[in-house]
Amino acid sequence: MTRGEDFTREETYRLTRLPVDLASTLVPEAYTSRAFFDIERERVFATSWIAIGYTSEVEAPGDVIVAEVAGRSIIAVRNNDGELRAFHNVCRHRATKLLDEGCGPQRRIRCPYHSWTYDLDGNCLGTPLFEGSDIPDDQRGIFDMSDVKGFDKDDYGLLPVRVETWGFLVFVNLDPDAEPLANQLGDLPDRFSGYCLEEWRTVRSKTYGADANYKLLGENFMEYYHLPWVHPELVKVSRMEDHYRWQGPGMYTGMCTTPVSQNTDAGGWQGLPPLGSLDREDAESGRFVWLFPNTAVVVLPNHAFVIMARPEEPSRTVEETAILAHPESLEAPDSQKALDELARFWDLVNLQDIEIVERVQKGISNPAYSGGRMCYKFEEPLHRFQNMVIDHMVGTRGIPPGDGEGMSPMFVSGESAAEAKR
């Protein structure tokens, strides 16, 4: 059994550090241990750019997202100048949680305990003596702090958190010294430049619970090895032979299916009209990206599907999912019916994934299992991801390089492989 302090030592991961064709998986405790979970929360989630919501949720002044990152509640809010700001969801008086998830737009941020109030830039407006207070006029004097020594409300603004956006996603980083989001994204903005992702809007959402570690859910997303046995419906519209690795430098793993196949009676990815401005390659491909550490982004010509996997316990994850689309695709007269069909198909696929990953969690919790060999032909993205986790756990940082080519064939061999590389 690995001790807690060993999780920050390079030697613990020596078998996973080997080249992918020789490597073994992460130590099982990485998926089951409370000690690993607690260290990972601080070294991975508290130092990385974490997606917390969508730009379409914070378009107008006062629009707010409340989310949890590394065990901390965070507020992201659009201020009156149209800028996005983020803060720890903590009153500077007695640490009360200020806003709840789904609270709706705010003119100002008011503590429900003692009514300390903040503007949308996080500035403290003072004690209850502010415009619109529900303290009766004849009682306001007792709350006056103007004569308190050593108190300046300018020193008691909300504690800031770094916030940035890419495409339709809002990210925060708890580390004030972290590199910009662009460093983590690597070449993804260029790879997705033709999609105008910043214009896409959330049109469906659903939350799932999974009795599994978030990394198992991510690793399942990263490989297509399991498709024939777990996804009999999906494999008909996302054929094995049409999969490619699609990743350059950046904190992500990426794959592509091209061309996207026609729907079957069980469903598929078609229905909404595709975005008309896409080039030929993007117009017939599906892009699958796992943003380190916990967000899946699937972008197809006519919609996107996103999973934000929030770890709650070593063996418990909440998945917040959403379907997004460009306004152009939503102009079709039957768009709502098409969205319903897309939501039904994604629900089918996601439930299949959750069921199998929960079985993996049960197996990986068995002390008899000490780790397995990578199936390197199919599981290079897992090796890439697991080494990102290790880098953070042992205190080293680096951006993984790309494959050296736009798309690397994953499921072809012999003459087909040689032809694909020409």
With contact defined as beta carbons under 8 Å apart, do 291 and 167 qualify? no
Structure-token pair, residue 113: 């305990």
Q: What is the pLDDT of residues 79-88, one digit of tens each?
A: 999 999 999 9
Name residue 215's beta-bridge partners. Answer: none
Structure tokens at 64: 């707010």
H/E stretch holding 72: strand 72-78
Confidence (pLDDT) at 234 = 66
Q: pLDDT tens digit string along 219-231?
A: 999 877 676 776 6
Q: In terms of DSSP H, where are the helices of 201-320?
A: 214-222, 227-230, 234-237, 280-283
Among 130-139, 155-164, 194-203, 311-320, the range scoring the smallest mean pLDDT is 130-139
CATH 3.90.380.10 segments of the chain: 187-421
* pLDDT: which is higher, 93 or 375: 93
What is the band of 23 on the pLDDT scale with cuts at 50, 70, 90?
Answer: very high
Q: 187-421 falls under which CATH superfamily?
A: Naphthalene 1,2-dioxygenase Alpha Subunit; Chain A, domain 1 (3.90.380.10)
The SS3 assignment for 54 reads strand
Q: Which part of the chain is CATH 2.102.10.10?
A: 51-162
**Low-confidence winner among 136-140, 162-166, 303-307, 375-379 (lowest mean pLDDT):** 136-140
Nearest Cα to Cα of residue 173 among 292, 79, 83: 292
Q: Contact at 8 Å (CB) between 293 and 48?
A: yes
Residue 65's nearest CA partner among 325, 324, 308 is 308
Q: What is the pLDDT of residue 71?
A: 96
Give the separation between CA 411 and CA 241, rounded to whole angstroms: 6
Higher pLDDT, 146 or 51: 51
Given this model, what pLDDT does residue 417 score? 39
CA 22-24-27 angle, to 5 degrees, is 155
What beta strand segments (E) does 300-418 contain? 304-313, 316-325, 408-409
Q: Among 114-123, 237-246, 374-383, where is mean pLDDT lowest?
A: 237-246
**C-alpha span between 55 and 59 (Å, rounded):** 6
Eight-state DSSP code of residue 99: -
Domain range 51-162, CATH class: mainly beta
Percent of residues, the chain, with pLDDT higher than 70 = 87
Residue 129's contacts (CB-CB under 8 Å, 6 or more residues apart) are: 135, 140, 143, 144
Residue 382 near residue 222, CB atoms below 8 Å:
yes
Q: What is the pLDDT of residues 262-318, one digit of tens each?
A: 878 877 888 899 999 999 999 999 999 999 999 999 999 999 999 999 999 999 999
- Per the structure block, which two tokens stand in for 152? 């300046």
Residue range 90-108: mean pLDDT, rounded: 94
- What token pair was written down for 295? 């967000």
Higher pLDDT, 293 or 417: 293
What are the two backbone dihedrals, phi and then psi, of residue 195, each rounded to the nearest 5 degrees? -90, -10
Residue 2 has pLDDT above 80, yes or no: no
- Confidence at 144, pLDDT banded by 50, 70, 90: low
What single-letter amino acid sits at 264? T
The reported pTM is 0.91
Q: Is 75 in contact with 83 (CB distance < 8 Å)?
A: no
Rounded to 10 degrees, the C-alpha dihedral 373/223/395/313 comes to -100
What would the two tokens of residue 368 be?
Answer: 């008899």
Determine the average pLDDT of the residues in 69-79. 98
Q: Tokens standing for 183?
A: 């460093």
